[in-house]
């Protein structure tokens, strides 16, 4: 962005992870950030975004269009729109995750059979696929989604973009985009294997395992790929598999709910 562009600020929309990244980048560059966030976003994500100096505009997931709100702000202020996934620069940046995975596997002499990543609008999953397949073309890459919000899995199966019937209702608040992106879906068709769909309960179990076994604090949306591996929806036995765990922005109540599942299982 030019100095003149930075002076007019940036605007983005996100339930929290892209919001926090954009807000902090703007703070570091001395640029104003306006972030459109759902009213039911975890309080921790809203607080962290605001702590980086961003102005928060709340909206109703069901009644409002975050894209229209953000585009309206940009039209009035001249701010640059920085979308959460449907942009080549964004998905390329997210895709460095896949590049690092493939490079590290190669350094260890491992040929990856499969990689999986969480998916909302598809930026992370398709970016990861670009990074992985650039180094390891035979590796299959899959997108993980919460049940009832598996628009990409259904779109890949049907060959046409599908839309979720609901706009809210999963603990995976970061993964509730209504339909795949215009840029990400063609890439998904080219690069991704079949989608992986997990329930909220399976996600909570994955969060508990991540904490107990790997000392990782995961938010629900960040645990879907791990949940797919733990449930066998992504086969791992006898295979070299990597899963992306993207995000630890979880509220206390949800994390407590996940940790308590270990005691319930033991009982």
State pLDDT tens for residues 88-124: 999 999 999 999 999 999 999 999 999 999 999 999 9
Please report, for residues 105, 174, 215, the alpha-carbon distance to residue 45 in angstroms, rounded to integers and kept in the order given: 32, 10, 21
Could you give phi then psi for residue 129, rounded to 5 degrees?
-60, -40
- Average pLDDT estimate for 59-81: 95
State pLDDT tens for residues 208-256: 999 999 999 999 999 999 999 999 999 999 999 999 999 898 999 999 9
Q: What is the DSSP code string of 108-126?
A: TT---SEEEEE-SSSHHHH
State pLDDT tens for residues 161-209: 999 998 889 999 999 999 999 999 999 999 999 999 999 999 999 999 9
232 in the Ramachandran plot: left (φ > 0), alpha (ψ -120 to 50) or beta?
left
Instruction: Answer yes or no: pTM beyond 0.85.
Output: yes
CB within 8 Å of 85: residues ≥ 6 apart: 18, 91, 94, 120, 121, 122, 123, 124, 177, 181, 184
CA 137 to chain centre: 23
How many Å apart are CA 24 and CA 156, to the nearest integer? 34
State pLDDT tens for residues 30-63: 999 999 999 998 888 999 999 999 999 999 988 9
For β-strands 80-81 and 55-59, DSSP reports them as: unpaired
Indicate the SS3 state at residue 218.
coil
Length in residues, the chain: 267
pLDDT of residue 167: 85
pLDDT of residue 266: 44
Q: Which tokens go with 121?
A: 């609008």
Report the CATH fold assignment for 89-266. Rossmann fold (3.40.50)
List every span in the chain annotated with CATH 3.40.50.1100. Answer: 3-84, 89-266
CATH class of 3-84: alpha beta
How many Å apart are CA 83 and CA 12, to the nearest integer? 5
How many Å apart are CA 40 and CA 37, to the nearest integer? 8
Is the predicted pLDDT of residue 15 greater than 50, yes or no?
yes
């Amino acid at each position: 962005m030019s100095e003149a562009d930075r002076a007019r600020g940036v605007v983005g929309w996100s339930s929290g992870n892209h919001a926090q990244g954009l807000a902090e980048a703007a703070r570091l560059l001395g640029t104003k950030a306006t972030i459109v966030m759902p009213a039911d976003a975890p309080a921790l994500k809203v607080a962290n975004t605001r702590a980086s100096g961003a102005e928060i505009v709340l909206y109703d997931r069901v009644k409002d269009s975050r894209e229209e709100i953000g585009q309206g702000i940009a039209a009035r202020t001249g701010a640059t729109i920085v979308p959460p996934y449907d942009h080549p620069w964004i998905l390329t940046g997210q895709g460095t995750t896949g590049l690092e995975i493939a490079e590290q596997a190669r350094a260890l002499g491992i040929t990856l059979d499969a990689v999986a990543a969480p998916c909302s609008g598809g930026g992370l999953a398709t970016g990861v696929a670009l990074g992985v397949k650039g180094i390891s073309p035979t590796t299959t890459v899959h997108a993980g989604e919460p049940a009832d919000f598996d628009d990409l899995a259904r779109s890949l199966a049907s060959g046409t973009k599908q839309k979720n019937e609901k706009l809210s209702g999963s603990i995976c608040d970061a993964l509730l985009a209504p339909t795949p992106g215009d840029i990400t879906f063609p890439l998904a068709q080219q690069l991704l294997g079949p989608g992986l769909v997990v329930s909220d309960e399976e996600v909570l179990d994955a969060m508990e395992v991540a904490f107990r076994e790997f000392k990782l604090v995961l938010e629900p949306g960040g645990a879907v790929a791990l949940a797919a591996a733990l449930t066998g929806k992504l086969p791992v036995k006898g295979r070299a598999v990597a899963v992306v765990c993207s995000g630890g922005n979880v509220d206390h109540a949800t994390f407590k709910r996940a940790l308590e599942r270990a005691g319930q299982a033991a009982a």
